[in-house]
Chain A
Amino acid sequence: MKTVVISLLGTTLDHRGFNGKRWERWRPTLSLCQHEDLVVDRLELLFQRDFQNIAGQLSQDIKTVSPETEVNHHIISLLDPWDFESVYAELLDFARSYPFDIEHEQYLLHITTGTHVAQICLYLLTEARYLPGRLIQTSPPQRRETVAGHYQIIDLDLSKYDLIASRFSREHQEGTHYLKGGIETRNPAFNRMIEQVEKVAIRSREPILLTGPSGSGKSLLAKRIYQLKKKRGQLPGNLVEVNCATLRGDNAMSALFGHVKGAFTGAATARKGLLAEADNGLLFLDEIGELGLDEQAMLLRAIEDKRFMPLGSDKEAGSRFQLIAGTNRNLFQQVEQGRFREDLLARINLWSYELPSLKQRLEDLEANIDYELEKYSQKANTLIGFNKQARDRYLRFAKSPEAIWNSNFRDLNASITRMATLSDGGRITQETVEEEIRRLRHDWRQSGGRNEASAVELLLDKPVDLFDRLQLAGVIRICQDSQTAAEAGRKLFNVSRLNKASANDSHRVIQFLGKFGLDFKAVKQWHERDGSINQ
């Protein structure tokens, strides 16, 4: 492998007169050939015609100190060595015409000579691989050192720059950490997702679609993406957040796209609209599935062309906003049902991320509890914490199948807020936790129809049809309100029993419960322990 140096002639540094004194002075291009540990097989010397004399003497001196170095002269023409465009063009021409042979030769681009403009151009050309080599930098000797001084080879290609690389990765980590709200999450799938969101957020202005169940943190993530981009100076504008479920009819159009004065009855003043407000900022449209078809069409155009038509206006308005859309609906299904535009979905589905439910991320529960406590503590200006048993009890419940976390992190936030508010002296006790658990159970039962598991299922410890569940729930409530099975039977079979010769009411109740593996006593006891069923 031969070593070839490409160097511009330094008309000042490489030229130290024609007398013997020049040998005592450091001359950068000459110094390349004076090092004991660097053999330059060939030197490509670039200079302007005017400096032929200096180049000639330099070449002769190189011949003296390094007879094995072949020196080639290249005349270049730089009308203005301080003009970027012409210097770059001239050097690019050289790079394009030079017969590089990277199989057999390694190239070093000397960046110590030439104007700063030329040095920067060499750097750029090397970085862009027009010049397939490494940079070499020379520096003068310190006192008492030999005249050759020092040199340093810089490989732009390598991730050798650990410091720079680690700085990048630190910023990246800071970014993901930030997106996670500073919560040390352990769920690998979630962490992977956030890592990608961070990259996309930093590198792209394309729409992002966040899906996931209610309360899984879509809106929070959108806010954090906005803040991250703002911190990196990418979004000077505002964050505009709106839930599309609140936009109906004419109001929806004008809220989003604005209207001109007198656009419709009651439009006494002009309205800017949310899109315009989000100019150079971020628009977060939550529940985008709730948006009407007309608005969807207008939105698509605004995303693609950055232009839209305010209501009643005959002039288009413009806004460069980044869109983040949120939904807990299956938009593909909505498309099939004709309730969502396929082209809009295709446009916003470029970067789509499904946020997992709290139950899918149980390993992050503790960190989130601490985060919520911290958040409350800051707001209330008092330090709030669990005592040990209380924490263990809460965690056991929170991680049990019984805890369905219907509204995910919103539930957790509410739960922690309640306990923190009720805590005395900043300590959440076991008592508070028990009370909270009862409350959560109750709440989740209330919303049972939509629940993944209902209270009845908890009692049965297995899933059942909604039909049976509704029936059982009523039966159980009656049983719990009755002293005996017979009493419950009388209430339950209040019509049919009149037509029977022998009304064996208790038997009928026990038989019904038996179908589900339950007995009257168990139903009663469960009532005493856990409160009533209200389905």
Chain B
Amino acid sequence: MIEIDGAQGEGGGQVLRTSLSLSASLGKPMLIKNIRQGRKKPGLMRQHLACINAMAEVCDARVKGAVIGSRIIEFIPGAIKAGDYHFVIESAGSSTLVFQTVLPALLLTGKPSRLILEGGTHNPMAPSFDFIRYCFLPVLRQMGAEFDVGVERYGFYPAGGGRWTITIMPAANYRKIELDSQTQLLGKRAKCIASRIPSHVLVREKRQLLKRLNWPDESITLETVESPGPGNIISLQMNYQNVTEIFESIGTRGISAEQVADRVVDELHRYQAIGAPVGRYLADQLLLPLSQGAGGSFVTGPLSEHSLTNVDVIRQFLDLDIELMGIEPGRHWRVVVNV
């Protein structure tokens, strides 16, 4: 049994989710200790239980210790089953994190699966549905997988209640991918999305974006979406030849529309200043698919704690060669996964 120290690296839910994905994909039983040890409320929270339960359902695992507040779980995976799943994530928890947890295993079955996910779609501290759809999934398509994705309802914190579906069509053989250099910018657009909030918010956000970005007016669209609760998000999309990057900012109470727009513009500027093709969030998320596919490489900015933790956890499950090479010291890193 593989023993994982849940307190390593970023020491939070990331260690748990990456471990769950790997344990299920590889059929390796594991024991995770010290789960979220240093956090204010240590141990498993509802969103973590949601990931454990979803993963256990997909790979028919036997689980011990999966209760609120638990700091240790034993996860003994069985066979991975492709098929139809319906995951409901309560307390507006992120449905995208659950999706990302179960995806690697389902990509290895060779058969299609259809998922219905309910809960939060645009949460702070988690990749948004738009990020999954426009940034993450296209890279996996390059690897050979196919997806059919649609959204019925958005789910914003705190009401949640979003609903989306995805059909996962794994490839027989995965391709290596290389995202080593920034390529030509093919297009850019921005969306200001809102549900159940005054309409002037979107107008002000667009005005601020225009002021800061100097983009053509038609590249910025306003969208009102269906959702049980109020919510607002700005999503910037940069389409390069080899990758699409997404930058987002979520509107919350007490933050003006202008500030929401400023934050996303700052985020874009940071990415542009670094000049690497893969942004920090995508970098976190590419490590696992690359390790389980045919490998590959990418160049990104300074590696985040999340990325380094992912590398460490992957190395504990898989005997493979992940190289982290600093190029242009302090600015760019090249990550090479040899399988």
Residues of A within 8 A of B (CB): 19-21, 23-24, 33-39, 61, 64-69, 143-144, 146-148
Contact = CB atoms under 8 A, between A and B. Distances in A.
A153 to B, nearest CB: 13
Interface stretch (B39-47, B139-147, B239-247, B294-302): B39-47
Contacts of A66: 90-91
Contacts, number: 66
Q: Chain A CB within 10 Å — which of B69, B93, B158, B161 has the most?
A: B158
Interface centre among B46, B91, B161 (most CB of A within 10 A): B91
Given A21-B230, A23-B230, A39-B68, A67 B46 contact: no
A61 B160 CA distance: 10
Interface in B93-134: 93, 118
A18 to B, nearest CB: 11
Contacts of A21: 230
A37 B69 contact: yes
B157 A67 contact: no
Interface residues on B, range: 20 to 34
B91 A35 contact: yes
A23 B158 contact: yes
B229 interface: yes
B68 A38 contact: yes
B196 A36 contact: no
Contact of A37 (B45, B159, B229): B45
- Interface majority SS on B: helix, strand, loop or mixed? loop
A36 B45 CA distance: 5
Nearest to A38: B68
Given A34-B158, A144-B254, A148-B158, A20 B45 contact: no
A67 to B, nearest CB: 5
Nearest to A143: B254
Given A19-B196, A34-B158, A64 B253 contact: no
A37 B88 contact: no
Nearest to B93: A36
Given A37-B69, A61-B159, A146-B157, 15 more contacts: A20-B195, A23-B159, A24-B230, A24-B253, A34-B91, A35-B91, A37-B43, A65-B158, A65-B159, A67-B88, A68-B90, A69-B90, A143-B254, A144-B254, A147-B158
A335 B196 CA distance: 91
Contact of A65 (B68, B161, B254): B161
Interface of B: 41, 43, 45-47, 68-69, 88, 90-93, 118, 157-161, 195-197, 228-230, 253-254
Nearest to B227: A20
22 contacts: A20-B229, A20-B230, A23-B158, A23-B159, A23-B196, A36-B46, A36-B91, A37-B41, A37-B45, A37-B46, A37-B69, A38-B68, A39-B46, A39-B68, A64-B159, A64-B160, A65-B158, A68-B88, A68-B90, A144-B254, A147-B158, A148-B91
Nearest to A23: B229
Contacts of B197: 20
B68 to A, nearest CB: 6
Top 8 closest pairs, chain A to chain B, by CB? A20-B196, A36-B45, A20-B230, A64-B161, A23-B229, A66-B90, A23-B159, A147-B158
Contacts of B91: 33-36, 65-66, 148
Contacts of B196: 19-20, 23
Which of B69, B88, B90, B197 is most buried by chain A, counting CB atoms within 10 A of its CB?
B90
Contacts of B161: 64-65
A480 B197 CA distance: 117
Contacts of A146: 157-158
A249 B68 CA distance: 80
B278 to A, nearest CB: 31
